């Protein structure tokens, strides 16, 4: 494998010194980029794109060719696992992801298999191909949904505003929800380890919906399984630690317990100040985040000011190491790409260690 030319991202995740604060952006390959939309059109659909390693490689590299980002993220989706479990993923234009079959009854749960990783070969092939195409420019992030967030989509059959079906199961038949989470956990561990074997150099576990739970339900139904995932992952590959990031959207209240899950870094949304987060858990984990994605709708001066504010919140104690700059959630499809360039350059400039 080619030597890594820029390892600032991996070093920051391990709270090692870096010459500046590295940055990548959640959903950095996506619809705000005209070149992404062109490739997606060629592919015919989102799934046509995500299931073709050549297209995945092309779109993964697109944002890196435009911006000086410090990491690449595999182009795929968290819903590949439930799709491989036979639930039939499809997308309705403008409505987001849906499943042909849901998992709600005892019978559904009993029939649900652990995902066959062989069916996800298109993902591991994409990882290997992207690694080759990157030629060591920056590290490649692999990812998965958390067992709980995957369960939300599997039980609801798509996105949800209120998680009525998931919470009905949680309070009526917690045993069934635990059984689904157990199968998801085994699937996620095998999937992420396969991504490491294929060349992923860091991993991120997306717990997009854990924040919808009560304090106690979060610990039992989301965090407990995320902790099991972390414990099941390979620690190193190619002679280097494979750092893990855990992100619960809306998890700011629970940072102390999240910091015990076995992740090297926690991803944060924009609702918490990085200075508070660092005071609470910064001795234990690195932090990734947490600019409100809507700041990118402001002008260049606003973006620079808000980026500097996030950097200063983290480095209020004069130690800027252990921070990976990111948005607090995925970038909006309505973002002007020039504003992303302004952000990336502002973060590098303002964080350069003197």
Please give the residues from 55 up to 74 whose contact with ligand CP3 meets the rule CB under 6 A: 73
**CB 354, min distance to ligand CP3, A:** 32
Among 79, 112, 138, 170, binds ligand CP3 (CB under 6 A): 79
Phi, psi of 112 (to 5 degrees): -65, 120
What SS3 state is found at 30? coil
Which residues make Cβ contacts (< 8 Å) with residue 118, sequence separation at least 6?
none
* Burial (Cβ within 10 Å: 0-12, 13-18, ≥19) of residue 219: middle
Q: Tell me, yes or no, if 77 is annotated catalytic.
A: yes
Tokens of 171: 């309070």
Other C-beta atoms closer than 10 Å to the C-beta of 337 total: 17
Q: Which of 31, 66, 280, 309 is catalytic?
A: 31
Which of 255, 149, 161, 167 minimizes the C-alpha distance to 207? 149
Among 4, 23, 78, 315, binds ligand CP3 (CB under 6 A): 78
- The one segment of 28-36, 107-115, 218-226, 318-326 that binds ligand CP3 by CB under 6 A: 28-36
For ligand CP3, which is the closer residue by CB, 16 or 100?
Answer: 100
CA atoms within 13 A on the CB side of 31: 9
CA–CA separation, 202 and 143 (whole Å): 8
Q: Tell me, yes or no, if 27 is annotated catalytic.
A: yes
Contact 166, 156 (CB under 8 A): yes
Among 11, 15, 27, 348, binds ligand CP3 (CB under 6 A): 27
Residue 327 is given by DSSP the state: E
Q: Which of 20, 32, 36, 40 is catalytic?
A: 40
Please give the residues from 301 up to 330 whose contact with ligand CP3 meets the rule CB under 6 A: 330
Other C-beta atoms closer than 10 Å to the C-beta of 177 total: 24
Tokens of 104: 């709600």
Q: Under the criterion CB under 6 A, does residue 97 sit at the interface with ligand CP3?
A: yes
Q: Under the criterion CB under 6 A, does residue 167 sit at the interface with ligand CP3?
A: no
Residue written as token pair 């690449």: 72
Phi, psi of 265 (to 5 degrees): -145, 150
**Count of residues that interact with ligand CP3, criterion CB under 6 A:** 20
**CB 167, min distance to ligand CP3, A:** 18
Among 208, 288, 290, 351, binds ligand CP3 (CB under 6 A): 208
Contact 337, 33 (CB under 8 A): yes
For ligand CP3, which is the closer residue by CB, 267 or 282?
Answer: 267
Phi, psi of 269 (to 5 degrees): -85, -175
For ligand CP3, which is the closer residue by CB, 46 or 122?
Answer: 46
**CB 352, min distance to ligand CP3, A:** 26
Q: Under the criterion CB under 6 A, does residue 28 sit at the interface with ligand CP3?
A: yes
For ligand CP3, which is the closer residue by CB, 40 or 323?
Answer: 40
Give me the 31-50 binding string for ligand CP3, x by CB under 6 A, dash otherwise. x--------x-----x----
Q: Under the criterion CB under 6 A, does residue 206 sit at the interface with ligand CP3?
A: yes
Contact 259, 226 (CB under 8 A): no
Contact 137, 64 (CB under 8 A): yes
Q: Tell me, yes or no, if 31 is annotated catalytic.
A: yes
Q: Which residues on neighbouring strands pair with residue 286, listed in sequence order?
A: 265
Q: Under the criterion CB under 6 A, does residue 159 sit at the interface with ligand CP3?
A: yes
- The one segment of 1-9, 20-28, 293-301, 337-345 that binds ligand CP3 by CB under 6 A: 20-28
Catalytic residue positions? 27, 31, 40, 77, 153
Interacting residues toward ligand CP3 by CB under 6 A: 26-31, 40, 46, 73, 75, 77-79, 96-97, 143, 159, 206, 208, 330
């Amino acid at each position: 494998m080619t030597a890594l030319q820029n390892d600032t991202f991996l070093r920051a995740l391990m709270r090692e010194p870096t010459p500046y604060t590295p940055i990548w952006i959640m959903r950095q390959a996506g619809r705000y980029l005209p070149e992404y939309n062109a490739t997606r059109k060629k592919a015919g659909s989102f799934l046509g794109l995500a299931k073709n390693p050549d297209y995945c490689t092309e779109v993964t590299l697109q944002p890196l060719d435009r911006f000086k980002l410090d990491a690449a993220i595999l182009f795929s989706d968290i819903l590949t696992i439930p799709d491989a479990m036979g639930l039939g993923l499809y997308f309705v234009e403008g409505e987001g992801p849906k499943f042909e079959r849901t998992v709600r009854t005892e019978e559904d749960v009993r029939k649900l298999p652990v995902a066959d990783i062989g069916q996800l070969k298109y993902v591991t092939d994409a990882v290997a191909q992207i690694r080759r195409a990157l030629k060591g420019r920056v590290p490649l992030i692999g990812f998965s949904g958390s067992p709980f967030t995957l369960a939300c989509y599997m039980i609801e059959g798509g996105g949800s505003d209120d998680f009525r079906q998931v919470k009905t199961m949680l309070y009526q038949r917690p045993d069934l929800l635990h059984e689904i989470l157990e199968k998801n956990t085994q699937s996620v561990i095998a999937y992420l380890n396969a991504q490491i074997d294929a060349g992923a150099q860091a991993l991120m576990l997306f717990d997009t919906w854990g924040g919808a739970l009560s304090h106690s339900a979060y610990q039992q139904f989301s965090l407990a399984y995320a902790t099991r995932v972390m414990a099941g992952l390979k620690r190193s590959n190619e002679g280097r630690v494979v750092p893990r990031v855990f992100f619960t959207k809306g998890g700011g209240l629970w940072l102390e317990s999240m910091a015990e899950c076995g992740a090297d870094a926690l991803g944060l949304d924009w609702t918490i100040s990085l200075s508070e987060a660092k005071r609470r858990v910064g001795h234990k984990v690195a932090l990734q985040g947490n600019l409100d994605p809507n700041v990118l709708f402001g002008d260049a001066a606003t973006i620079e000011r808000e980026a500097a504010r996030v950097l200063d919140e983290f480095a209020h104690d004069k130690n800027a190491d252990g921070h990976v700059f990111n948005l607090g959630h995925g970038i909006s499809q309505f973002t002007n790409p020039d504003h992303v360039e302004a952000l990336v350059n502002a973060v590098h400039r303002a964080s350069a260690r003197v």
